[in-house]
Amino acid sequence: MVLGITFSPTEDLKSWAADVGLDVNLEMHLLCDSDRTVAMSYGAAESADQEKATRISIHVGPDGVVKKTYESFDAADHANDALADFT
């Protein structure tokens, strides 16, 4: 399962998903972290007043344990690089 978490309000997420043709029910789930709690827990924000999250990806295993954090990546290659870690 893929989860996308952002500071954007829920309505903005729905609009963005529709604009890019993403079926959030099948391909991924988009979550709103408006109070930055999740971002601060995983290192994507240093404080609750940070305007934008640091872009990171986190691979969490079925057991709930963080397997790998991708802090710096090329967006064009990231999906393939991350998928390689699942095999």
- Identity of residue 20: V
**Do 13 and 19 contact (CB within 8 A), yes or no?**
no
Q: Read off the pTM.
A: 0.71
Read off the pLDDT of residues 26-81 as tens digits, 9 standing for 90 and up: 556 788 899 999 999 999 999 999 998 888 888 888 899 999 998 877 878 888 88
**Do 21 and 30 contact (CB within 8 A), yes or no?**
no
43-53 b/e (C-beta count within 10 Å ≥ 16 → b): ebbeeeeeeeb
Q: Give the residue, 1 or 61, on which the prediction is more confident.
A: 61
> Residue 29's closest CA among 14, 40, 50, 15?
14
pLDDT value at residue 27: 57
